[in-house]
Chain A
Amino acid sequence: KQEVTQIPAALSVPEGENLVLNCSFTDSAIYNLQWFRQDPGKGLTSLLLIQSSQREQTSGRLNASLDKSSGRSTLYIAASQPGDSATYLCAVREETSGSRLTFGEGTQLTVNP
């Protein structure tokens, strides 16, 4: 059974810092990995999708990497801003699970001005 773990559970940083969020998964037979952002009381916003054949994806100040064989992904946020404060979730889609995503429990990020 696939398990997704995110470390740390919570992170508080001053504005302007570069930071890394970690995601690990137990079964490396994944089709892709997706990073989401969830603001309090809101839905999920898709940030980046990495196919299993890719090593990284970039969007603006965000860079996500994937090491499928070791079961790890990182989300790098450059020059963090208070508006980046949210919960960040990673989710994997397994090769044999149809379309379902298996989520980690998230990292709650606070960027202090």
Chain B
Amino acid sequence: DTAVSQTPKYLVTQMGNDKSIKCEQNLGHDTMYWYKQDSKKFLKIMFSYNNKELIINETVPNRFSPKSPDKAHLNLHINSLELGDSAVYFCASSRGVWRSSYNEQFFGPGTRLTVL
């Protein structure tokens, strides 16, 4: 199946731990994103990479560090987890960036992170 996939789907961990969420897309897209959906269901961009290069870096604590080993993967590493990090994290991808007509974004199923 062609899709954006994320692992794990659920992640429950203690405060202070370090965790990673992985994202892979097999759509041949050049651009990948991380979004955070908070408890009020509001979605907000965190990061975006184009061909392994960081192009969007929103005001996110530096405990969050994205890593893109290749253009098909964008992982999210979170250090020293805090209660407020509990949310659903969505990965997305699109074919183009900037003034591109191929900018439709396709989303993964989400990772529900719960910090205890």
Interface size on A, residues (CB 8 A): 25
Query: Closest CB of chain A to B63's CB: distance in Å?
Result: 21
Number of interface residues of B (CB under 8 A): 32
State the majority secondary structure of interface residues on A.
strand
Task: Report the separation of the CA atoms of residues A36 and B43 in the bound assembly, to the nearest whole angstrom.
Answer: 12
Partner among B45, B56, B107 whose Cβ is within 8 Å of the Cβ of A44: B107
B41 in contact with A43 (CB, 8 Å): no
A65 → chain B closest CB, angstroms:
18
Q: Are A103 and B104 CB-contacts (below 8 A) given A42-B110, A98-B48, A98-B98? A: no
Give the complex CA separation of A103 and B41 in angstroms.
10
Q: Is the CB of A99 within 8 A of B42?
A: no
User: What total of A-B pairs shows CB separation below 8 Å?
Assistant: 66
A68 at the interface (CB under 8 A from B): no
A100 within 8 A of B: yes
Report how far A5 CA is from B110 CA in the complex, Å. Answer: 23
B107 & A98 in contact (Cβ 8 Å cutoff): no
Q: Using a CB–CB distance below 8 Å, which chain B residues touch chain A? A: 4, 31, 33, 35, 40-45, 48, 50, 55-56, 58, 90, 92, 94, 96-99, 101, 103-110, 112
8 contacts between A and B (CB under 8 A): A43-B110, A44-B43, A46-B104, A46-B105, A98-B98, A99-B50, A99-B103, A103-B43
Interface residues of A (CB under 8 A from B): 31-32, 34, 36, 41-46, 49, 51, 87, 89, 91, 93, 97-103, 105-106
